[in-house]
Every structure is written in C-alpha cells, then in structure tokens.
C-alpha cells in the first residue's frame, strides 16, 4: 500500500475479516508452543503446503523455534517485552514492533527477557512469494491505497479501528483481527492513537 492518497477511483471491492476470537490454537511443529493461524494462501492449504501463512504465536517460555525448510519468515513481536533471538548462532535483541526477516531453515531459539510475549509470523514459500510487514502509527483518519497484484492485509494492535473499503463495506476491527482487502483503497478511522501492521505479500515471477 502507498500513503497518503488524495483520491482514488471507485471500484468494487471484496474483503475478508478473520476474527482473533475465532482463531484456533494448535501446537507448534516441534511441540514447543502454540500458534493461532489467521489465514493461509491458497485458502485451506495444509500446514506444510502453503504459499503463505499468517499466524500469531504465544511465547510463554524460552526455547527453540520450529524449522520450515524452503520458507522465509517475518517475525514481529506484537505483545510483551523484548525477546532475544539466536539465529544460526548469532544473538540479537528484538523489541516490540520491529519486523525481522530470516530463513525458516535457520536454527532459531528464543529467550524471554522478562515474561510471556506474542509474535506475528508471516511465512512465505521461497520462489513463490515474498512478504513485507510495515508498522503504521495512526492518529486520526487515514486513507491507504492498495498495490495491485499483491495481497494487502491489515492487523490492528491495541484497540478498535473502523475500516471502510473502496467497495463501500465498513468493518470494525478489534485487536489482532485481520482484514484482507481487495480493491483500490481502505479508509482507517481509529479510536485514538493506534498502531497497525500492514502486511503485503507479492508473488515472485
């Protein structure tokens, strides 16, 4: 998405809302924790055959991450205190809302610095698509325009946001709800200052 936008043509829009309250938690691939999958592409793809996957993991103790060969990961801490990730032997602190990209095949362990945390994970199949996660700081009405030919998704963090799409559909999004937008633009109307994540997934080739 590009920002700001002064005007945009009105065209029909489709959208999908995935409610955090409806997400089902499942064990990590290595059994070390739980993750809630919000959306996969293509729709209904099994855990080992997706082109892309968006999920939120609860990290309650230090330990290893599952390996995903042939997958690129974007890890974004969305709740809790900073964590320390050791990736292929190199340790680095990861603060809140600082997207970090690394290979799913890497040897990764996570150390909690104080207490439990949550992280958004966006995974993409190498050679098929690539993801970019951006942090939006919003204080008042803001209009974003979609980049054609890619997935455009929005996820609010602390509080409720009203969203109107170019097709005239209006949705109220709560914390960790995911909106998949198809159309020209989305108008965001937060209740006070708000942080959101913009997830863009583009095909390769």
Q: What is the pLDDT of residues 21-34, one digit of tens each?
A: 999 999 988 888 89
Whole-model pTM?
A: 0.89
The dihedrals phi and psi of 20, each to the nearest 5 degrees, come to -60, -35
Instruction: Tell me the pLDDT tens digit for each residue of 62-100.
Output: 999 999 999 999 999 999 999 999 999 999 999 999 999
* Per-residue pLDDT band at 196 (split at 50, 70, 90): very high
Reply yes or no on whether the pLDDT at 2 is more than 70. Answer: no
Copy the structure tokens of residue 143. 């209009």
Q: Can you tell me the distance from the alpha carbon of 50 to that of 131, in angstroms, rounded to the nearest whole number?
A: 14
Between 47 and 191, residue with greater pLDDT? 191
Beta strands across the sheet bearing 194-203: 14-18, 178-182, 151-156, 194-203, 129-138
Give me the pLDDT at residue 1, please.
54
How many CB atoms neighbour CB 51 within 10 A? 16
Q: Can you tell me the distance from the alpha carbon of 151 to that of 197, in angstroms, rounded to the nearest whole number?
A: 13
């Amino acid at each position: 998405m590009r920002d700001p936008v002064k005007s945009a043509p009105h065209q029909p829009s489709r959208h999908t809302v995935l409610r955090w309250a409806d997400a089902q938690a499942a064990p990590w691939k290595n059994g070390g924790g739980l993750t809630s999958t919000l959306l996969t592409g293509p729709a209904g793809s099994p855990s080992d055959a997706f082109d892309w996957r968006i999920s939120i993991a609860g990290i309650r103790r230090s330990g290893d991450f599952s390996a995903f060969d042939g997958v690129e990961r974007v890890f974004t801490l969305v709740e809790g205190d900073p964590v320390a990730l050791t990736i292929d032997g190199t340790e680095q602190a990861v603060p809140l809302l600082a997207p970090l990209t690394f290979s799913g095949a890497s040897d990764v362990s996570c150390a909690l610095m104080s207490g439990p945390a949550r992280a958004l994970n966006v995974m993409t199949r190498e050679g098929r698509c690539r993801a970019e996660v951006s942090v939006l700081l919003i204080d008042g009405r803001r209009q974003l325009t979609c980049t054609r030919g890619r997935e455009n998704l929005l996820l609010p963090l602390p509080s409720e946001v009203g969203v109107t799409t170019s097709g005239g559909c209006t949705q109220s999004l709560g914390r960790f709800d995911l909106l998949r937008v198809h159309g020209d633009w989305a108008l965001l109307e937060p209740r006070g200052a708000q942080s959101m994540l913009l997830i863009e997934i583009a095909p390769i080739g």
